[in-house]
Amino acid sequence: MSKLVTIYGGSGFVGRHIAQRMAKEGWRVRVAVRRPNEAMFVKPYGSVGQVEPVFCNVRDDASVAGAMAGADAVVNCVGVLSDRGKNTFDAVQHEGAERIARIAAAQGVDTMVHLSAIADTACESNYATTKALGEEGVLQHMPNAMILRPSVIFGQDDGFFNRFASMSRMGPFLPVVGGATKFQPVFVDDVAKAAVMGVLGQAEGVYELGGPEVKTLRGWVNEILEVVHRKRIVMNLPFWVGNLMAFGFGLLQALTFGLVHNSVLTKDQVKLLRLDNVVSDDAKGFADLGIVPLAPEAIIADYLWRYRPSGQYDAIKDSARNLKV
């Protein structure tokens, strides 16, 4: 019988790419998620019955253990960008990650891959702190685990390039907080390739993953504007303005008892934006894995075209303007 991997958060942005690649490797894939009925799209990644979504709550021991039963390897892709109900940074990124590793060790699972992030704890954000604590918890129970620390991840469903491309449609100004902060975007499938190497036992240890280009946030926004064919004035807002905005959006969420969720800007995200998000000079990375990462310019036009003034017809209109009558 083929081997089995349980991917916690396997229907998410990164997890689905790992699931697809593991299915191609011939493994059975168990996709552990909170809402299996919303993850049925993963089933065609393999042959009939090869990829199955199952229920799991990473805050519960029995749930995690049930989803892991019989697995030869586990991958943890579960993470949050902001606290929401019981799914807080600490509950998910710290305690949840440690719980998965502890139960994996107890069940005799040999291999674990943990998706973390490049997040400097010097910024004192809850996101960064819990990511670091999660790594410690994983290595405490699974010392041979592979830890992946990607920079901001891009791909068709990303929350980075898509977000600013969408904002570019709202008016002549495009405000950003932390415009001078550096980012090194990495392609989602390149991260998945690295994770698969860990599952297959071809790599272990800590790897920081970044793409081939480093630019400031403002530089990336300008590149997005070129791709979506829009001219906007990029306004780099000071951090104190960002804190005011985050306070306002947070207050709105509190006053509506969470009915309006703050998905725009939080105080924790403002803290993160103060520090560069790039691979450390002395860190192991893609080169050590033999992977050549793709640059954003090779990918983003394929999915950002929908934010152009005329969408899919924008290129046709540009071509028509060049016709000589």
**Residue 262: per-residue pLDDT:** 87
pTM score: 0.93
CB 229 within 8 Å of CB 314: yes
**Residue 325: per-residue pLDDT:** 53
User: DSSP H helical segments within the chain, as ranges?
Assistant: 15-24, 61-68, 89, 97-106, 126-141, 161-167, 188-199, 217-227, 239-255, 267-272, 286-289, 301-304, 314-321
**Residue 123: per-residue pLDDT:** 82
CATH architecture of 4-155+184-212+277-293: 3-Layer(aba) Sandwich (3.40)
What are 203-228's pLDDT values in tens digits? 999 999 999 999 999 999 999 999 99
CB 151 within 8 Å of CB 185: yes
Residues of the chain with pLDDT under 70: 318-325
**Residue 91: per-residue pLDDT:** 96
CA distance 101 to 3: 19
Q: Cβ contacts of residue 251 below 8 Å, gap of 6+?
A: none
What are 282-324's pLDDT values in tens digits? 999 999 999 999 999 999 999 999 999 988 777 777 666 666 5
Share of the chain above pLDDT 90, in %: 88
**Residue 112: per-residue pLDDT:** 98
Q: Quick one: tokens of 322?
A: 């060049």
- DSSP lists the bridge partners of residue 112 as 74
CA distance 126 to 90: 8
- Helix (H) / strand (E) element for 149: namely strand 146-150
**Residue 321: per-residue pLDDT:** 67
**Residue 297: per-residue pLDDT:** 95
Closest Cα to residue 214, out of 296, 95, 144, 138?
Answer: 296
Spacing of C-alpha 178 from chain mean position = 20
